Amino acid sequence: MSDIVAFNSVAEEAAPKAQAQRVLAGPRGAKPRRALSGRNIMIYGTLVVVALYYLLPLYVMVMTSLKGMPEIRLGNIFAPPVEITFEPWVKAWASACTGLNCDGLSRGFWNSVRITVPSTLVSIAIASVNGYALANWRFKGAELFFTILIVGAFIPYQVMIYPIVIVLREMGIYGTLTGLIIVHTIFGMPILTLLFRNYFAGLPEELFKAARVDGAGFWTIYFKIMLPMSLPIFVVAMILQVTGIWNDFLFGVVFTRPEYYPMTVQLNNIVNSVQGVKEYNVNMAATILTGAVPLFVYFVSGRLFVRGIAAGAVKG
């Protein structure tokens, strides 16, 4: 420092003052940020374009479903309806034909409810107890069965479908809702068990020990200690199961009789039925109706859904 001062005083007497002023005049305070930098335009531009791509099909679905058939034949699919009509929705719900019958999607909807609700409850009940036993009450061989179960999650369904058909037929429940509920419970088990096992294993082990010292047994600890602490994971499991089972197609076709076909199967039969004139507006209304339940679950659950699918991505 003294060197600089010495140098400056030799050069000019006013120099130190000028330098001091220069220091004061330099950058100071918050660094200016341009909201519209090239980088930001690129990032947001890309994201907006991508978002439009993702939204486009939903938009087209809704627009098409609100148009009459004449307008569809004339106009383009992206144009909003000139004359909004809810006729296609009513028809899709109540009177669209599948080739077998003409009572629309409503039948499939109620079938799906009758399949999804018990399947979700039963599969979660069983898997949560399984996961709890695996996490806290390990017994010899438990890990082996669990490993088979997890490996099984990767086996294509097609490999196991026929043996299950035989088992269900032997039990006399092939083609019934009960049979389908069992199938959903079986195929939901690997991922749900893993989910619950990891969750329960992540809870402090000392809680479990404390409860044992307090004299609580297997079921008391499950119902009184573990359940009340595990609400989030049950919600995640429910999201996973409700969307998964609602969206299922394969099991619905294979394991039920036509009168029990779930909504997805019903929808496919309506849209892809070869008889009659194609009514695209009705088809799109039916498609939205079928997607509505999982979409509703998705938008309501938000972050939990992300957690659920991250876990459930491994599923079948």
Partner 1 sequence: MQNVSVSVKDLSLSFGAVTVLDTLNLDIKDGEFLVLLGSSGCGKSTLLNCIAGLLDVSDGQIFIKNKNVTWEEPKDRGIGMVFQSYALYPQMSVEKNLSFGLQVAKVPKEEIDKRVSRAAEILQIQPLLKRKPSELSGGQRQRVAIGRALVRDVDVFLFDEPLSNLDAKLRSELRVEIKRLHQSLKNTMIYVTHDQIEALTLADRIAVMKSGVIQQLADPMTIYNAPENLFVAGFIGSPSMNFFRGELQLRDQRAYVHVNGVDFDVSAYPSRAPFVNGQKVVLGLRPEHVRVDETASGAQASHRATVDIEEPMGADNLLWLKLAGQSMSVRIAGQRRYAPGTAVTLSFDMAVASIFDATSENRL
Partner 2 sequence: MAGHTQSSGRPNQWLRNLNAKIASVPMILTAVVIFLGGTIWTVVYSFTNSKLLPRLTFVGFDQYERLWDAPRWLVSVQNLAIYGIFSLIFSLVIGFVLAALMDQKIRFENTFRTIMLYPFALSFIVTGLVWQWLLNPEFGIQSVVRSLGWETFTFDPLYNADIVIYGILIAALWQGTGLVMCLMLAGLRGIDEDIWKAARVDGIPMWKTYIFVIIPMMRGVFITTLVIIASGIVKVYDLVVAQTSGGPGIASEVPAKYVYDYMFQAQNLGQGFAASTMMLITVAIIIVPWAYLEFGGGRKRV
Q: Which does 164 bind (CB under 5 to 8 A by kind): partner 1, partner 2, none?
A: partner 2
Residue 89 makes CB contacts below 8 A (sequence gap 6+) with 65, 285, 289
Q: Which of residues 219-238 bind partner 1 (CB under 8 A)?
A: 220, 224-225, 228-229
Rg (C-alpha) for the chain, rounded Å, is 31
Identify which range of 160-168, 199-207, 272-280, 295-303 contacts partner 1 by CB under 8 A: 199-207
Contact 287, 58 (CB under 8 A): no
Q: Which does 209 bind (CB under 5 to 8 A by kind): partner 2, partner 1, none?
A: partner 1
DSSP string covering 3-16: HHHHHHHHH-TTHH
Residue 87 makes CB contacts below 8 A (sequence gap 6+) with 68, 281
Q: Which of residues 159-178 bind partner 1 (CB under 8 A)?
A: none
Q: Which does 41 bind (CB under 5 to 8 A by kind): partner 2, partner 1, none?
A: none
Q: Which of residues 46-65 bind partner 2 (CB under 8 A)?
A: 46-47, 50-51, 53-58, 60-61, 64
Q: 209 or 257: whose CB is closer to partner 1?
A: 209
The answer to whether residue 159 forms part of the interface with partner 2 (CB under 8 A) is: yes
Q: Mask 95-134, x = binds partner 2 (CB under 8 A)?
A: -------------------------------x--xx-xxx
The answer to whether residue 27 forms part of the interface with partner 1 (CB under 8 A) is: no
Q: 192 or 226: whose CB is closer to partner 1?
A: 226
Torsion angle, CA of 252/254/259/262, rounded to 10 degrees? 10
> Smallest distance from the beta carbon of 229 to partner 1, in angstroms?
6
Identify which range of 24-32, 94-102, 215-223, 306-314 contacts partner 1 by CB under 8 A: 215-223
DSSP state letter for 217: -
Q: Rounded to a whole number, what is the distance in angstroms from the first to the last CA of the chain?
A: 72
Type of residue at 138: R
**Cβ atoms within 10 Å of 237's Cβ, excluding its own:** 26
Q: Which does 198 bind (CB under 5 to 8 A by kind): partner 1, partner 2, none?
A: none
Which tokens go with 118? 């018990």
Q: 63 or 177: whose CB is closer to partner 2?
A: 63
- State how far the alpha carbon of 165 is from the alpha carbons of 162, 170, 174, 213, 257, in Å: 5, 9, 7, 47, 13
Q: Which of residues 160-189 bind partner 2 (CB under 8 A)?
A: 160-164, 166-167, 185-186, 189
Q: 15 or 203: whose CB is closer to partner 2?
A: 203
Residue given tokens 């938000």 in the structure block: 302
Task: Look at phi and psi of residue 12 and say left if phi exceeds 0, alpha if psi is from -120 to 50, else beta.
Answer: beta
Q: Which does 15 bind (CB under 5 to 8 A by kind): partner 2, partner 1, none?
A: none
Q: Mask 73-112, x = binds partner 1 (CB under 8 A)?
A: ----------------------------------------
The answer to whether residue 203 forms part of the interface with partner 2 (CB under 8 A) is: no
The answer to whether residue 4 forms part of the interface with partner 2 (CB under 8 A) is: no
3-state secondary structure 146-193: HHHHHHHCCCCHHHHHHHHHHHHHHHCCCECHHHHHHHHHHHHHHHHH
Angle between helix 38-65 and 87-94 (nearest 10): 70
Select the residue interacting with partner 2 from 200, 264, 282, 285 (CB under 8 A).
264
Binding residues vs partner 1 (CB under 8 A): 204, 206-207, 209-216, 220, 224-225, 228-229
